[in-house]
Chains A and B, each alone.
Chain A
């Protein structure tokens, strides 16, 4: 899922300073699961903004809502009538949702979150980056453990010399060396022979570094 953090309330209040009618719109997908922008977080955010504005002696009218997926017009459309009555929308979606609403509506769409990474739920309340979305997956060769996302140096051919005796990374002491995890996993799968193959330099043109935003087109699915 896409993992995001809420911005500090002070920053959000600053963004909203000149508006009196605001829709606080959450997203019930990824950011709901990572407890940053779902229905519950919308309630807490709206309540916090009302209290803060009351403390400042400045009135604000807040409408609350949460779209199924803000990254899809279809799910934002039911809110169109409400959105058009506002001075601004505070979006609790990832950056994709903010972009999507901005393309569709003529009023300011303000981000309440800092979008961070693609992550897994490590345990309740902890999310970890495990995929970098580089556009050229090699997980079949690395036992399902991504060295691009999980190695601090994005190495493709085994660990660097900085791995510590306890198997952690020299860059981050609490980070397990991705290449030790890969070795252990390939040993478990009885495929250590994969490590004998030298991986060529990665083609980064499939990554965002290849130049600007990426696009996926499926002609057969288009209407």
Chain B
């Protein structure tokens, strides 16, 4: 995984991807030999409708700097409305992040189809740049109490 530190910071990102679209799009990006940042780690979901606020918070808790959720284009969900539900859960979690004191831009929802390998590579770039600019998630805490962060990041 990329280094996490104040200097030469490379963010750690997790992408929760729908099996039927984003996961296949990521695969297509590979087949097309498209480059996208190695910062992104993919977790496959059977549908983004499986997404839970707890998945997102746990990702941040274990030390991830940014999370992207990628579901099908609106109207194309294999399970009819899973992507629409996931979008609402992401919005609610963004609100919660704000209350926690974490920039809500660290979490984003994207829509794409399985044919959009280019788009997957593009959003992976976009999120990496965005989170790199925001800096490490726990940098404020790190400065105040490094032991607390090390313990919590387990």
Contacts and interface: CB of A to CB of B under 8 A. Distances in A.
A51 interface: yes
A10 interface: yes
B61 A57 contact: no
Chain A residues touching B, majority SS: helix
A44 interface: yes
Interface in A1-28: 8-10
A10 B151 CA distance: 23
A56 B52 CA distance: 25
Contacts of A44: 53-54, 57, 96
Contacts of A48: 57, 96, 99-100
Interface stretch (B36-44, B110-118, B119-127, B139-147): B139-147
A57 B100 contact: no
Contacts of A214: none
Interface string A45-67: 00110111111111100000000
Given A43-B54, A48-B100, A51-B102, A59 B151 contact: yes
A50 B62 CA distance: 11
Contact of B99 (A10, A50, A58): A10
B100 A51 contact: yes
Given A57-B144, A59-B147, A59-B148, A9 B96 contact: yes
Given A44-B54, A55-B141, A58-B148, A9 B102 contact: no
B143 to A, nearest CB: 7
Contact of B152 (A9, A10, A40, A50): A50
Contacts of A50: 61, 152
Interface string A100-130: 0000000000000000000000000000000
A54 B99 CA distance: 13
A198 to B, nearest CB: 49
B58 interface: yes
A59 B144 CA distance: 11
B60 interface: yes
Contacts of B152: 50, 54, 59
Tell me which of A10, A50, A51, A58 has the highest count of chain B C-beta atoms within 10 A of its own C-beta: A51
B132 interface: no
B152 to A, nearest CB: 5
B102 A55 contact: yes
B75 interface: no
Contacts of B149: 54, 57
Given A48-B99, A50-B61, 6 more contacts: A43-B54, A47-B54, A50-B152, A55-B100, A59-B147, A59-B152
17 contacts: A9-B99, A10-B99, A40-B54, A47-B57, A51-B57, A52-B101, A54-B138, A54-B141, A54-B148, A55-B141, A56-B101, A56-B144, A57-B143, A57-B144, A58-B144, A58-B145, A59-B151
Interface of B: 52-54, 57-58, 60-61, 96, 99-102, 138, 140-145, 147-149, 151-152
- List 5 A-B pairs, minimum CB-CB distance, nearest first: A57-B144, A47-B57, A59-B148, A57-B145, A9-B99
